[in-house]
Structure 1
């Protein structure tokens, strides 16, 4: 019998024993609703009919319909890439270059730094159409232009948040307030993992600090085992995962068994579920000790693959290396792989900033799509690319045009793209007005993006819920619609 099966049996036995030891007062106090709420529910049942109170709840966990994707690789570009310099070409901005934006355009809008005399800034790069789909891309994306027919671009995404930290948290958790479960945690909770010796939700970081911090991969009020596990790009993927000198695998197994027995005894005494999370974490760490070194060993990758991604021999944790590692994690059954690459916040020198970030990320993104496709994995791996919001079509003030040449935060419209995982490839969804300011066709909210991602993994976003503090929560709150044009 496998160790995790034994652990589950022990948990059930301990819970049964704990319930037998409870008094009636303890039972009603700890059952999650309390005696008073039981009585209240009974009153509602009498008033509204027994059917409404006794109806069977919708299935919260598990697949709601056959999934089109087995896993997600989310390439999160923290700082907000400029869609106007990468994806959404606007000739009108060239015509109006240097002129003040009409007051009516920004009237009633909220921005981080925009002044009333803000001047229009034209696209900083040349654009051209590519592939059979004719997708129009900036010259800064030469590698992505090679795979545009495998990609669907969404040019009409909008969000409720206009500052980095709440906007990043919002995209990842469905709420701008820290403490809600992240998307990867919801997936781990809802449909579990395809691997027993690696976490179901893995986080890879490159490029610097993140405004949203660990709130973006936190489990929130879900059980702790569903939170994202950050892996380091060099050395041990997780600090202290390797045994110290003098400790072999047998000794480590005996040590963990002893600790598990002590934790189990404590659980039997208290019934605190966090103790089970602790037991699970020790077991996962033990399994990872055998798997993690092999995961990080790229010696089995041929030179052509390394060159395709742009991974260098002395690479200590670049975005390119994270993309290759993401493919290796996907092969090994990890459900949700999130790559965070920061450095896209260009309030000044947007031209130099975009040029630098594209040099760091474009090759890895395209290589990931090519690599998944040639291995037959793209069809069941959903790849998502995007930031927390977009950038404005004007600089922050007219006086800054000559020396700053940057763009402010723009929540009203930005571009994301998806590939694989059952998404209809080779299309562009949505459009913005002539200034790239507002969506004018097929507007897509961040909650719609979240609902669509869950949909591709066989989950109805309205049915995957968790009751906390007396109310059911879900990733999309009370919003969100699957993007029909994207998934067919």
Structure 2
């Protein structure tokens, strides 16, 4: 199979062409969204009312500055931040996460997630797919058709949709390197690009600005240049000149085409025709969908609680999508490598990254808890890796010190979805460099998400030649439920 390439022209079947043409007959305009893909509900798909919000911090959150502080270590290890107490006796986290500290009864930590890569692309692939092994033909410069499928792609394929939206969505952007290359691990890989997760691209690409724009945007290397990005919430509308009357006429035409579909495709499996058509129409008329995506026009008090920035808007959108019935929402908090703090680490974490994250995640937990949905919604937050125990400085690039890549260990934040609050699984050595108790693999991390989604261990997806591929490659992280 060819490598993933956003500019290539995929081969499509006659049935798929008819479905796509049927949607275009409606004259739909769907700004900032990938092509509408709602698949037929196959018998092997699972109906579940459970959900997950997977918060991904591209770049690598430092465990020493967040959830696994080492205040008694030497200065070159401990860093500049101080720990603060949480509501749980003996549990301390960074002083720059005070709102989460007050909600520690709602969340737990795994301080011992480990894998073998210190490279960004491979690290992304490992965590986003929940697979430690390197796939055949892996290319760090671009996604390949032989890559392992992402957790989001698998969830989108094996779960039956409960709404006219797909069961799995990624927002507010694809993870793209500042050079413009697309990072592997986000897509369906060997499942086939037709099963890529659905991306809501509300955050425009920027090569030199990172973080929660417009309030907290910054540049790792302080190169200057204003960030003019606008968080563009997707909206669904009839295209220009498409009146309701004309739309109704086209719907009638679609019905006539529907009468002929047995002739057009005698092979069966034509249910997706109706799924595409009904989804395209209902998206235009579903107030819940518009409500979920229109976050920049939400009540000011709600926006202030989450933060009027890309982090806050993204998590507010995720929370609303879960409300509408979407099962898994992956939220990339910051564009590619926003958390890659090789230098200028302490001011950038303190001033630009931790405040909007602390506020937005806390607001999300409050909303889910107040609505009673937290018990059935897993919130999980991690990066592709952690940071080195020892502080270093690349003086030719950065004004101030930081930490480098470290796949050997990172901390994972978990709440809801059956997770009991106030627990800590795993332990690292005295410098926060390696797990010394209950080491967990990415396969355990992925299994924790699949379990929270209500997927049994017998769940599998089919490849193009109908071979089953079971999704569980490990056991869920123990000691959390």
Q: Given the two structures, how large is their TM-score scaled by the length of structure 1?
A: 0.71
Contact 1:217–1:228, Cα closer than 8 Å, also in 2? no
1:126 to 1:412, Cα distance in 2 relative to 1, 3 A:
same
Which of the residues 92, 97, 104 maps onto 1:141?
97
Q: Which runs of structure 2 are paired with 1:2-401 in the superposition (5 Å)? A: 61-62=45-46, 70-91=50-71, 93-94=73-74, 97=76, 121-175=77-131, 177=138, 178=143, 179=145, 180-196=148-164, 198-205=165-172, 209=176, 213=183, 215-218=185-188, 220-221=190-191, 224=194, 227-232=197-202, 237-238=233-234, 241-255=236-250, 258=253, 269=264, 280-291=275-286, 292-297=289-294, 302-311=299-308, 318-342=310-334, 343-355=338-350, 356-395=352-391
Cα separation, partners in 2 of 1:443 and 1:214, compared to 1, 3 Å: closer
Q: CA 1:331/1:398 → structure 2, altered by over 3 Å: closer, same or farther?
A: closer
Closer/same/farther in 2, CA of residues 297 and 397 from structure 1, 3 Å limit: closer
Secondary structure, aligned partner of 1:384:
strand
| Aligned CA distance change for structure 1 residues 463 and 419 (closer, same or farther; 3 Å) | same
Which residue of 2 is the match for residue 453 of structure 1?
449
Structure 1 window deviating more from structure 2 (222-231 vs 84-93): it is: 222-231
Contact 2:105 2:422 in 1 (8 A): yes
Q: What is the rounded CA distance, in whole Å, between the counterparts of 1:280 and 1:471 in structure 2?
A: 25
- Measured against aligned partners, the alpha-carbon deviations of 1:412-453 in whole angstroms (never above 9, x if no partner) come to 100011111111211111110111111001111111011111
Matched, 1:413 2:383: no
Q: CA offset at residue 173 of structure 1?
A: 2.1
Taking the aligned partners of 1:223 and 1:207, their CA distance within structure 2 comes to 15
Structure 1 SS opposite 2:110: strand
1:406 Cα shift? 1.6
Runs (5+) with no aligned partner, structure 2 = 1-14, 19-42, 204-229
**What does residue 478 of structure 2 align with?**
484
Tell me which moved more, 350-359 or 177-186. Answer: 177-186
Structure with the largest fraction of helix: 1
Work out the CA distance in 1 between the residues paired with 2:409 and 2:327.
Answer: 29
Residues 189-208 of structure 1 show CA distances to partners (whole Å, capped at 9, x for unaligned) of 32312213x23222222698
Find the aligned partners of 1:168 and 1:225 in 2 and give their Cα distance: 19
Mapped contact 2:343–2:398 kept (Cα < 8 A): no
> For 2:105, what is the secondary structure of its paired residue?
helix
Which stretches in structure 1 are left out of the alignment for 5+ residues?
Answer: 1-10, 15-58, 98-120
Residues 189, 222 of structure 1: 8 Å contact kept: no
- Residue 209 of structure 1: how far off its partner (Å): 4.0
Q: Which residue of 1 aligns with 2:223?
A: none
If the length of structure 2 is used for normalisation, what is the TM-score?
0.72
TM-superposition CA deviations, 1:183-236 (whole Å, max 9, x none): 22322332312213x232222226984576475144752683672232526787
Question: Is the Cα–Cα contact under 8 Å of residues 204 and 232 in structure 1 kept in the other structure?
Answer: yes
Q: Once the 2 structures are TM-superposed, how far is the Cα of residue 156 of structure 1 from its aligned partner? A: 0.3
Q: What is the SS of the residue equivalent to 1:84?
A: coil
Q: CA deviation at 1:464?
A: 2.5
Contact kept, 8 Å, 1:181 with 1:475, in 2: the verdict is no
Do the aligned residues in 2 keep the contact of 1:169 with 1:212 (CA within 8 Å)?
A: no
Residue matched to 1:103: none
1:398 & 1:299 partners in 2: Cα distance?
Answer: 39
In structure 2, distance between residues paired with 1:388 and 1:247: 45
What is the total number of aligned residue pairs between the two structures? 394
Rounded Cα–Cα distance in structure 2 between residues aligned with 1:254 and 1:295 = 29
Deviation at residue 408 of structure 1 after TM alignment:
1.1
Alpha-carbon spacing, 1:432–1:250, altered in 2? closer, same or farther (3 Å): farther
RMSD of Structure 2 on Structure 1 (CA): 3.5
8 A contact 1:133–1:427 mirrored in 2: no
- The SS at the match of 1:147 is coil
1:458 positional shift: 2.1
User: Within 2, Cα distance between the matches of 1:394 and 1:378?
Assistant: 37
Cα distance change, pair 305–470 in 1 and its aligned pair in 2 (3 A): closer
Shifted more, 261-270 versus 359-368: the winner is 261-270
Deviations 1:59-113 (CA, angstroms, capped at 9, x unpaired) = 96436xxx7x711111111111111111111245425x2xxxxxxxxxxxxxxxx
Greater shift, 346-355 or 363-372, is seen at: 346-355
Q: Deviations over 1:446-478 (max 9, x none)?
A: 1101111111222234532424557532344xx
